[in-house]
Amino acid sequence: MISSPSHGLWRGSVASTVAFALALALLLPLPSTAAAPLAEDQGGVVLVPTSGPLVSVRYLFEVGSKDDPKGKEGLAALTASMVARGGTTSLRYEEVLDRFFPMAASLDGACLKEVTIFSGTVHRDNLAAYIGLSTEMIASPRFAPEDFERLRDEALDYLTKTLRGNNDEALGKWTLQSALYEGHPYGRPDEGLVAGLKAITLDDVKSFHRDHFTQAALRLGLCGAVDQATIQQVREGLAQLPPGEVRAEALIPNAEPIKGLEVTIVSKPAEATAISLGFPLSITRADDDFYALVVANSFLGEHRTFNGRLMRDLRGKRGLNYGDYSYIEDFIQDGQSTFPIPNNHRSRQYFSIWIRPVPTEKSVFALRAALWELDRLVEKGMTLEEFEGTRSFLLNYSKLWVQTLSRRLGYELEGRLYGRKDLVTELAERLPKLTLEQVNEAVRKHLKVGGMKVAMVAGDAEALRERLTSGKPSPMVYDTEGTADEVLAQDKEIEVFPLRDLKVRVIPVEKIFE
C-alpha cells in the first residue's frame, strides 16, 4: 500500500489520538482567504465549519482497487459495496434503509484506484442518527451472504452488460486505462474483472475489510455546523475498527513508456465510434510542473466547456460530434455537474483526450485531428494572450469547484494526500506567479511523447483497422455547407497527419474485462 504524505490526519488509535485540525472554511470567491489549516501536521479530523443547516461527512480510507489481490480483481470495490450497501451486525440491510429513509440520507461508497470514500450529506436535525448509523456500517458490517450475492451480481452485470453493451463512452475510457496500465495495478475497471469477481468469496471480503479498513488507513472530514460532541460520537462509533499499521511506502510504478501508436479497437454493434487516447504522465499535483500543465490543458480541452481548442475546432467549426476534451488527471464527472469528483487521489496520472462518438466514417479523421491539435500545442505553445486568458479563467473557475459542503471537504482531504494544500488554494497561490515560458516548457517536457495508446469502440472493427493501416489520407467529408477556408486548409493537414508506428489490435467486446 502506498503511503501518503507524512502529515496524516488520523493515525493510531482513534480513541486515543484524535486532536482535530481546524481548516478554515474556503470563503468564496476570494482566493486569498482559501484554506489556511491551523494545525495540519497534528493529525485528527479535518473540520470545515459552516453556518447552514447541512452537514457533510467523508470517511476516506487509503485503500483502493490497486490493492486487489491477483485473481480476485474487484475485491476492494465489492468490500466497499458491502459496507455502503449492506447491513450491519445489528441491522439487516433493509433495516439500514428504513433508518436512512426518513432523513433522506445514504452512505455513498466509491472505490477508486487508491482510495475508498464513504460520504453523505444530512440535515443537522438528523446528524446524530446519521453518524451513529454510518459509523456502525463502516466499523461493523454484517457481511450477509444475501448482500454478497446481490452486490457481486451487480458488479458482474456492470462489467458484462452495462460496460460491454450499454455505454460506449465508458467502455472506451476503461479500455484506454486498461491498455495504458496493462499488467499494472491500475489496469482494469475499479469494479474488477469477470473472472476475479467470480473467484471472490465472502471470507475474502471479511479479510480484506479487516486488513485494510483500519484506523491507520482512515482520514476523516466533517463540513458544517458540527461540535465536539459530534467528533466524540464519530470517535466512539469507529472505535471497533482495528488500529492497523502505517504501512511502509510501496511505490506504484509508472506505466511502461509507449512506442508509436497502439490502437485497441473494441468490436461491437455500434452506430458511432467512441474514441479515447492518452499516455502516462510522470507528474501529479505533488509536482510543480503539474500547475503549469493545468493551464495548457484547460486551453486545449477544459472538460465540458467551450473554452478548449478541441471543442471549438472539432465541434464548433466542424460539427464533428458533441464534445472533445483533454485531461491531465483521471477525470470522473461528479453527477450532472461539470466538475470532477473530489478525492480521486492517484500517485500515477495520465494525459488523455476524449473524443465523444463520431460518425464511423469520420473516426480516423477525428483521431488524426486530436493528434494534430496536441502536436500543434506542443510545437507552437500558447501565446501570451491565450495564457493570460486561460489563467484568469482558472483563477475564477476553480472557486466553483468547492461550492457544496461535500466538495469543499473532499478537496480539503485530497490536498493532504498529495502533500499539498487543496487544489483551489494551490491554484490561487501558484497561477499568479506562473509564466508563459514555464507553461510552454512544461508542455514540451510532458506532452511531447514517443507514443500513445488509443481506444476505439466501433461497429465494423476490420474496416476500421483497414482504414487506419492503409496509409491513405482520411479526408473530412462535410454534409454541411459553409466550412471556413481556414478550417478546410487545416483539414488538408489533418487528413495526412502521420499515424507513426501504428499497431492495431481488435478485441471482441465479449472478451474485454474478462
Site for other proteins in 441-460 (CB under 8 A): 457
Cβ distance to other proteins smaller for residue 98 or 437 = 98
Select from 483, 495, 496, 506 the one that contacts other proteins (CB under 8 A).
Answer: 483
Three-state DSSP at 22 gives strand
Select from 398, 425, 440, 474 the one that contacts other proteins (CB under 8 A).
Answer: 398
> Distance between CA atoms of 157 and 476, rounded to whole angstroms?
38
Stretch that binds other proteins, among 115-123, 229-237, 418-426, 498-506 (CB under 8 A): 115-123
> Distance between CA atoms of 368 and 495, rounded to whole angstroms?
7
Stretch that binds other proteins, among 91-99, 195-203, 442-450, 497-505 (CB under 8 A): 91-99
Q: How many residues of this chain interact with other proteins, rule: CB under 8 A?
A: 86
Do 451 and 257 contact (CB within 8 A), yes or no?
yes
Half-sphere exposure of 50 (CA within 13 A, CB side): 24
Q: Which amino acid is at 68?
A: D
Do 457 and 488 contact (CB within 8 A), yes or no?
no
- Pairing outcome for strands 21-22 and 260-267: unpaired
273: left (phi over 0), alpha (psi -120 to 50) or beta: beta
Cβ distance to other proteins smaller for residue 212 or 356 = 356
Write out the three cell numbers for 303. Answer: 472538460
Secondary structure (DSSP) of 99-143: HHGGGT---EEEE-SS-EEEEEEEEGGGHHHHHHHHHHHHHSB--
Stretch that binds other proteins, among 65-73, 182-190, 214-222, 305-313 (CB under 8 A): 305-313
Cβ distance to other proteins smaller for residue 169 or 287 = 169
Instruction: List the x/- string, 186-225, binding to other proteins by CB under 8 A.
Output: ----------------------------------------
Cβ distance to other proteins smaller for residue 37 or 357 = 357
> Distance between CA atoms of 27 and 180, rounded to whole angstroms?
39
Q: Is 307 in the site for other proteins (CB under 8 A)?
A: yes
Q: Is 34 in the site for other proteins (CB under 8 A)?
A: no
Q: How far apart are the first and last CA of the chain?
A: 25
Q: Shortest approach of other proteins to residue 2 CB, angstroms?
A: 32
Select from 367, 394, 439, 455 the one that contacts other proteins (CB under 8 A).
Answer: 394
Q: Is 161 in the site for other proteins (CB under 8 A)?
A: yes
Q: Is 274 in the site for other proteins (CB under 8 A)?
A: yes
Q: Is 132 in the site for other proteins (CB under 8 A)?
A: no
Stretch that binds other proteins, among 117-125, 177-185, 214-222, 243-251 (CB under 8 A): 117-125
- Find, among 66, 192, 172, the residue nearest to 453 by Cα: 172
Q: Is 52 in the site for other proteins (CB under 8 A)?
A: yes
Select from 22, 28, 129, 378 the one that contacts other proteins (CB under 8 A).
Answer: 28
Cβ distance to other proteins smaller for residue 197 or 417 = 197
Q: Is 164 in the site for other proteins (CB under 8 A)?
A: yes
Restricted to residues 337-376, the positions that interact with other proteins (CB under 8 A) are: 338-339, 356-359
Cβ distance to other proteins smaller for residue 14 or 367 = 367
Q: Shortest approach of other proteins to residue 254 CB, angstroms?
A: 32
Cβ distance to other proteins smaller for residue 298 or 347 = 298
138: Cα separation from own chain's centroid: 23
Helices (H), 404-484: 405-417, 423-430, 436-447, 461-469
What are the CA-CA distances from residue 438 to residues 65, 298, 434 (Å)?
A: 35, 15, 7
Q: Is 323 in the site for other proteins (CB under 8 A)?
A: yes
Q: Shortest approach of other proteins to residue 469 CB, angstroms?
A: 25
Cβ distance to other proteins smaller for residue 34 or 180 = 34
430: Cα separation from own chain's centroid: 23
> Distance between CA atoms of 109 and 83, rounded to whole angstroms?
8
